[in-house]
Amino acid sequence: MTFVPAQPIITRDQAIEFLYGRIDYERMSASLSASDFKLDRMRNLLDKIDNPQNRVPAVHIAGTKGKGSTAAMIASILQAGGHHVGLFTSPHLERYEERVRIDDQMIGEHDLVELVNRLADVTRTIDAQSNGLSPTFFELTTALAWLWFERQRADIAVVEVGLGGRLDSTSVCRPEVCVLTTVSRDHMHILGSRLSDIAAEKAGIIKSGIPVVSGVSAPEARAVIENIAAERGAPLHCIDTKTGHDSTAQAGAELTGSLSGLHQRRNALIAVSTARILRERGWRIDDQAIQNGLRSVRCPVRIEVVSQDPLVVLDAAHNWASAGALLETLAEHDVSGRRVLIFATSRDKDVPGLLRRLLGGFDCVVLTEFQSNPRAMPLEQLKEAVRRITSQPVHSAVTPNEAWVAATRLCPRDGLICVAGSFFLAAELRAMATKKAGPCEPAEA
């Protein structure tokens, strides 16, 4: 389905309706392959809006996990250094505008409406050409971000890849540094089943002569990244996220951040190394800015503790590696009461593997099905998957809100409620867990 309004867009709701009316590959990714992703559409769209991405330098970040947190850290460090910083991330939790920020402020309604009108005019022209280059939801969102960053005269933009890297619409940019956080198995129907295949897709963001920071540790994936960087003459800075060693030099800043968990320390190592390379390239970032940036960063639903009585943790963990990071961090908390997991996930994930990883860390599980995205695994299929793996107590609820109510009844005050399995689930439950009112807008992948 595609939608282009015949009349000018006047309100925010109309702007959001236009964007959601476009083809949205993220909401149907279970049936996609790599052939569905092409940069021709994005280049054509950007050409028609005078290529704003060429006038805003970027830090471009790809990876299986950790890229959202790392992006937030780098943006916070740059801002602490006195720079005017754009940040483009996905998906959003509650409002579409969360995706496009400058100095941690979301794009305003007036700018959103004005820029979407411009993109709608361009889209109407493209659609009339019948050349197969009609832009998608994510491509339009990426273009909107570049337009706003340029309008607001951002000094630099920190840009998170949506999916993969090589063919992602964010890859049409002018990076100062390219960053690869981790490589593990996820989106295998699109990126490939071997780590080397996945690494090649993510390393596709590497540009000729542009420095690369990599926290990838798996030897198979690391070898691919080293080869691609060498072929493109891109200086490669490998971070050993276990020891903190940088292949060229220590970053020279204390890693005291606001985010919990060893995995966030690893992300901080990557962010600090990126900041050091930016400093070498002339950007004003001293060690105090690095420390202040790390202390002030916030990353919702990345092992986010929202309550202590009982302990309530929201996490977007949706693959084997991120589930392991979650359990590793939860082990740091002293919880004497029952541990309750609220779980839902997408059909395109390794559901048995994810369940085997998570279930042993909890006393019981409440299964549900998120409502904001059609990729949700149906509740009955999820229940059957759990029955094949465990005999521990399993509860189910038709909606996340009902699952939350069930979990609060099952969990004592000295216990733990953990929400995991999907960003969509965490987004839908965050309002209840933080006692905020009002529905969330659909959150795309």
The mean-pLDDT minimum among 170-179, 188-197, 377-386, 436-445 falls in 436-445
79 plus 47 within the same structural domain: yes
172 lies in the same domain as 312: no
CATH number at residue 366: 3.90.190.20
Q: Is the pLDDT of residue 302 over 90?
A: no
What's the domain count of the chain?
2
pLDDT of residue 262: 77
Residue where a domain terminates, one of 264, 296, 328? 296
Q: How confident is the model at residue 30 (pLDDT cuts 50, 70, 90)?
A: very low
SS (H, E, C) 255-304: CCCCCCCHHHHHHHHHHHHHHHHHHHCCCCCCHHHHHHHHHHCCCCCCCE
Cα–Cα distance measured from residue 64 to residue 184, given in angstroms and rounded to the nearest whole number: 6
Residue 6 lies in a domain: no
Per-residue pLDDT for 252 more than 60?
Answer: no
Confidence class of residue 321 from pLDDT cuts 50, 70 and 90? Answer: confident
Across 50-59, 114-123, 428-437, least confident range: 428-437
Per the domain annotation, does 410 fall within a domain?
A: yes
Higher pLDDT, 130 or 33: 130
Q: How far apart are alpha carbons 144 and 118 in whole angstroms?
A: 9
Which pLDDT does position 24 carry in this prediction?
61
**CA distances (Å), origin 371, targets 379, 381, 398, 428:** 11, 16, 10, 8
Do 141 and 46 meet the contact criterion of CB atoms below 8 Å apart?
no
Verify that 344 and 225 share a domain, yes or no. Answer: no
Q: What is the per-residue pLDDT for 320? A: 84
User: What's this model's pTM, rounded to 2 decimal places?
Assistant: 0.86
Q: Could you tell me if residue 130 is inside a domain?
A: yes
**Can you give the residue range of the structural domain that contains 244?**
12-296
More confident residue, 375 or 273: 273
Task: Residue 371: name the closest of 310, 436, 432 by CA.
Answer: 432
| Residues in the chain, total | 445
Name the band, by pLDDT with cuts 50, 70 and 90, for residue 431.
Answer: confident
For residue 1, the model assigns a pLDDT of 43
- Is 331 in the same domain as 387? yes
- Whole-angstrom distance, CA of residue 212 vs CA of residue 209: 9
Classify 397 as helix, strand or coil.
coil
**Residue 165: band (very low, low, confident or very high) from pLDDT cuts 50, 70, 90:** confident
Task: Please check the confidence at residue 319 and state whether its pLDDT lies above 90.
Answer: no
Pair 153, 276 in one domain: yes
Smallest Cα–Cα separation from 168: which of 20, 24, 38, 50?
Answer: 38
Instruction: Assess whether 210 and 173 both reside in one domain.
Output: yes
Mean pLDDT of 107-118: 97
Q: What is the CATH number of the domain that holds 63?
A: 3.40.1190.10
